[in-house]
Amino acid sequence: MIPAIKDSLLLQKREIESKLKEDYVEREARLKSPDKGIINVIIGPRRAGKSFFAMRALHALGNFGYANFDDEKLVSVEDYGEIIAALGSIYSSPKYLLLDEIQNLSKWELFVNRLQRQGYNLVITGSNSHLLSRELSTHLTGRHLLVNVFPFSFSEFLKLEKKELTSSEKKEKLAYYLVYGGYPEPLIKKLDYKDYLSTLFNSIILKDIVRRYRIRAVDAIDDLASYLISNIAKEFSYTSLSKLTKCRSPVTVEKYISYFEEALIFFRISKFSFKLKEQIDSNKKIYCTDNGLIHAKAFKISNDTGRLFENLAAIELKKREISGEAEVYFWKNTQQEEVDFVVKRGHKVEQLIQACQDISDAKTKEREIRALLKAGEELKCNKLVILTGDYEAEENAEWFGIKAKISFVPLWKWLPGISTDI
């Protein structure tokens, strides 16, 4: 056994023993039959709490071994059998293995498949969506299930209070969450948000993108990332971004944005069309996986709570899409009237959603309703929702013969896991 491997794993063991003593917020995610030969694949951005979640879950089940492949000494190992031998020695033949940030390991899928065939109960994590997306089945030949662990949802964020909150208190907390987001470490340890999340964002760009893809035009990808984070919830084309940033071509822009998505910091939503080619060729809208990153890195967006409000709704809908529950788009007609979110399940448009924090202005309300009614008529959908800051009602609406019922729902009530009985 190579001493350097054992030393690295021993240090990692001490680290997890220390972490298991720290405060923990119960996550909504759950491991799925980890003792029945099913690989649990945990997806999520860096520092979202994937490892901590997996450690706590496996600790409750029994003895587990842990290897974190963010360690260059482990990544450089040629014979992976040495790693398994060291884990068996350190953890006394563990029942489960937790392989953290597995995407850093060359030919990781062959290694994982071999361990599963040998009878190991595996939990693997990764911060790269390409690893853990629709192509997952091409990598893993055995049975596997996806577990999503993102920064705290609003309901997980509320658990930090360790007490039942009134409706007014929940609304107050949403105002805080709207700006600072749900990354666990700065919330639990009371760290400086801006410094922590700015450093994290820069680290993701450098480690998960620039180094991984050997990008030479670092200024260009940094410039694109800065532009996108400052223009959340806005429509764009690859051509327009190539003119507005230091990226040389639309092809480069599209490639870099795909890297951002793989690193789980940004995601795109396409314009809805029943024709696939139109969807592909149309403009997109850009969103960020956590509002705290926007607060930390964006140029003058903190006061634009309307876009932060829309981004929160987009995050929740994106989670549903990643879980395979639905597909998410936006709608826009030739009159430039827009619906923020089209929720499609199978071949049917199931729901149309507007995100409008302040609905008190009559013209604003009329604009939001008019777009919903027109989209509902065109897409044959009668479930129409406007997410609001506080206004709650059901209203019958009409626009030149188009009639439908509109549900106005406060965002804090719409977000999953929130009790509204207080």
Number of helices (H), then strands (E), in the chain: 18, 14
List the CATH code of the domain at 3-149.
3.40.50
pLDDT score, position 130: 52
pLDDT of residue 275: 85
All CATH 3.40.50 domain ranges of the chain, comma separated, are 3-149
**pLDDT tens profile 55-64:** 999 999 989 9
Residue 102 has pLDDT above 90, yes or no: no
CA dist., res. 209 & res. 260, Å (int): 8
| pTM, two decimal places | 0.90
Pick from 61, 41, 49, 48: nearest CA to 19: 49
What does the alpha-carbon distance between residue 55 and residue 57 come to, in Å, rounded to a whole number?
Answer: 6
Does the pLDDT at position 422 exceed 50?
no
What pLDDT, in 10s, does the model give residues 290-349? 999 999 999 865 568 999 999 999 999 999 998 889 999 999 999 999 999 999 999 999
The CA-atom distances, in angstroms, between 216 and each of 72, 209, 225, 256, 350 are 22, 11, 15, 12, 44
Pairwise CA distance, residues 104 & 75, whole Å: 7
Mean pLDDT of the chain: 91
pLDDT at 281 over 70: yes
pLDDT score for 419: 45
Instruction: Identify each DSSP E strand in 136-274 by its residue range.
Output: 144-148, 235-236, 266-271
What does the alpha-carbon distance between residue 61 and residue 55 come to, in Å, rounded to a whole number?
A: 10
